[in-house]
Structure 1
Amino acid sequence: MDERALLDRSNGPVTRSRLVRELSALGLRPGDTVMFHTALSALGYVPGGPLTVIAALREVLGEKGTLLVYSGWNDAPPSDFTDWPAPWQEAVRAEHPAYDPELSEGTHDNGRLPEALRRLPGALRTRHPDSFAALGARVEALVLDVPWDDPYGARGPLGRLVDAGGRVLLLGAPLDTLTILHHAEALAQAPGKRHLSYEVPVLDADGSRLWQRYWDIDTEDEAFDYGQVVPEGVWPFTVIAQEALAAGIGVRGRVGAAESHLFEAAELVRFGVEWIERNITA
C-alpha cells in the first residue's frame, strides 16, 4: 500500500505526538508494564515507522514503564527435523548455528516492531530460544532466567507479566495475536492438553554450542482440541477475546486508523483459563 493510501486511511500522518495522545486516551498510563502487538500498516502512515511507535509508547509509559514483545527465533530448526533421514539430521546437528539472544533474528510472523525493539540499546532478550524481549524498568524481572521447560507457564515471561500487574495492547493487530492466551493454555486444567518437545542448538554459559531439549504446550497448532467448540477456520483466541470483551474485560479505541484494544493481563488470563476449562471437556 502506498503512502497516500495510508495517509487517507489515517486522515493524515500518525505522528509521535498523535500516537501519544491517542494511546493515553485508550488508557495507557505512566509506569505500565505492557506487552504489545502491532499491525503497522493498520495504523495508517506513521512517519518513521516502528521506531516512532516505540518512542511514543516509551513516552507514555515514562521511565518506570516497560515494554514486552514476543520475539521468537526465525531460523530455529523445525520441530520435526528429528523425523528426517539420519544423514540430514546429522548435517543439521553438526552445523546449525546456535541461538544467540543478541544476534539471532526474531520471527518474521509478528511484523517489524518486535525486531526493532529488541535491537534498541537497553533491551534484553530471553536466553530461551522461544524468546521474548523487553525494554524499560522491569526488563530483568521479565526475561532473565526463564526455565527451559514450560516457558509459557507461571515462571515464564507471560506469567511474570501477570504477576507484575501487566497489560496487553493490540495496536491494529487482530485478536488472534493475543500471545498471552498461550499462558492461559499452560495454566488450564482441561483434558487432552498437547505438548511438543523441541531440540535446539543454544550457547552454553561459556559460549560453546550445545543441543538443548525442552518441552512446551503445542503453540504450533493448538494446545487443545478446540474443534469441539470453535467453528472450523476460526482461531480460538479470537473467540475467547471476543467473549472477554463482551464480558467487560478490556477496552476498545482507535489509534491512528486502527481499532485497538487494551487488556489487563491477569483478567484476560483468568477469563481464558475459565473458558478453556468450561468448554474443553474431552
Structure 2
Amino acid sequence: MSTPPLTGTLCTRATIAADLRALGVEPGETLLVHSSLSSLGWVCGGRVAVVQALLDALGPEGTLVVPTHTGNNSDPEQWGNPPVPEEWWPAIRESTPAYDPLTTPSGGIGVIPEAVRTWPGALRSAHPQTSFAAVGPAAAALTAGHAQDCRLGERSPLARLEKAGARVLLLGAGFDSCTAFHLAEYRIEAPEADEGRAVMTPLGRRWEVVRETSISSDRFDELGADYERDRPVIRGRVGAAQVRLFPVAEAVAYAQRWLPVHRPPEV
C-alpha cells in the first residue's frame, strides 16, 4: 500500500524570505521571533531553511533574536506538566546540570530557536532559565549583561530590544508566546517568589535560590487580542502560518497599562 503524497503548502527558503519581505520585514532591523515550524506547511530544509530565510530577509546588517529558554532548570516542586514525585525532588536539585550558554539546549519553545542557538556566530545570554540567542551585528550588545536575578526585566535582552527599536515577529505563534509582555510585569506591582536553578560558579556547580519577580503568560492571549484591536499590528501569512509583526516598545507600553486593570495582582 503506497503512502499518499503530501498536500498543503510547500515552503522553501526563497518563498519564506519573499513572504517575510512582503509582510514588511526590513533589511537591517532587529527582530525578536517566536515561531512554530509546523504552522508554515511542509518546509523544504526544515528549521535550517527557516533561519536562512529570516537572515535573508534581515540582510547582513539585521539581527535575529530568539528565546532559548530552559524551563527544566527549575525547582521540581513547581513542575506540573508533568509533575514528579516529591521523593524525587532532592535528587533532581542535586543532579540537574548547570546552565551552560554553549551547550544547554533550549526547551519548550519549538525547534527554530534551537537552530538559531547553534548557528555559526550565534551569541546567547547568561540567564540560566530565560536566555536569548542572537545572530547579527547587534547580537553582542543585546545578549550581554543578562542579570542572574532578572529573567525578563530591565537587565535582560528584552529591555535592550525595546531600546533598540526592535520588532516582534509571531511566526505561526500566538500572543501567549510573546515574551515582550513580560517586561511590563517588571514595571507594575507584581508579587515575587523564590526560584531555584542549577548554575556554574568558580567553585563548581551548585543549586541556588534567588528572589525574582513572578511572571506568567496567563491571559496573554486576551491581552494580545486587545492590543491588536487598539494598535496597528501588521498581519499576514508566511507559507500557511498566520503572522503578526509589531514593535516591542508599543507592546510593552500597552501591556503595562492593560495588566493592572485586567490581571491585577492577587492580594
TM bucket, shorter chain = 0.7 to 0.9
1:229 aligned residue: none
Distance in 1 between residues matched to 2:224 and 2:74, nearest whole Å: 31
DSSP-derived class of the 1:269 partner: helix
More deviation, 265-274/174-183:
174-183
CA RMSD of aligned residues (A): 2.5
1:42 paired with 2:25, answer no
Give the match's secondary structure for 2:186.
helix
Q: Does 1:185 align with 2:185?
A: yes
Which residue does the alignment assign to 2:120?
A: 121
Task: Name the CA distance, whole Å, in 2 between partners of 1:21 and 1:89.
Answer: 49
Shift of 1:32: 1.1
2:145 is the counterpart of 1:160: no
CA distance in 2, matches of 1:54, 1:126: 19
Q: Which residue of 1 aligns with 2:65?
A: 68
Provide structure 2 residue ranges, at least 5 long, that are not aligned to the other structure.
79-83
Which of 259, 262, 269 lines up with 2:252 in the alignment? 269
Residues 74 and 273 of structure 1: CA distance in aligned 2, closer, same or farther (over 3 Å)? closer
Indicate how the Cα distance of structure 1 residues 249 and 272 shifts in structure 2: closer, same or farther if over 3 A, else same: farther
Which TM-score applies when normalising by structure 2? Answer: 0.87
Give the structure 2 partner of residue 236 of structure 1.
Answer: 219
In 1, distance between residues paired with 2:43 and 2:119? 19
Q: Which residue of 2 aligns with 1:201?
A: 198
Whether the aligned pair in 1 keeps the contact of 2:76 and 2:92 (CA below 8 Å) is: no
Report the identity percentage: 36
The answer as to whether partners of 1:79 and 1:198 remain within 8 angstroms in 2 is no
CA distance in 2, matches of 1:3, 1:114: 31
In the other structure, the counterpart of 1:25 is 22
Which has the higher mean CA deviation after the structures are superposed, 84-93 or 94-103?
A: 84-93
* Aligned partner of 2:50 among 49, 53, 65: 53
Q: For 1:86 and 1:281, locate their aligned partners in 2 and report how far apart those are by CA, in whole Å.
A: 32
**More divergent stretch after superposition (57-66 vs 71-80):** 71-80
Give the secondary structure class of the aligned counterpart of 1:117.
Answer: helix
Which residue of the partner structure matches residue 170 of structure 1? 170
Matches of 1:237 and 1:146, distance apart in 2? 24
TM-score (norm 1): 0.83
8 Å CA contact retained: 1:150, 1:215: no
Letter in 2 for 1:255: V
Per-residue CA shift, 1:13-48, capped at 9, x if unaligned? 211111111101111101111111111111111101
Residue type matched to 1:239 in 2?
Answer: E
Change (3 A) 1:195 1:165: same
Tell me the secondary structure at the aligned position of residue 266 of structure 1: helix
State how far apart, in whole Å, the 2-side matches of 1:169 and 1:85 are.
38
How many Å apart are 1:175 and its aligned residue? Answer: 2.1
Q: Confirm whether residue 259 of structure 1 aligns to residue 242 of structure 2.
A: yes
Structure 1 unpaired stretches of 5+: 224-234
Deviation digits for residues 147-168 of structure 1 (CA, Å, limit 9, x no counterpart): 1222211121111110110110
- Change in CA separation of 1:89 and 1:276 when aligned onto 2, cut-off 3 Å: closer
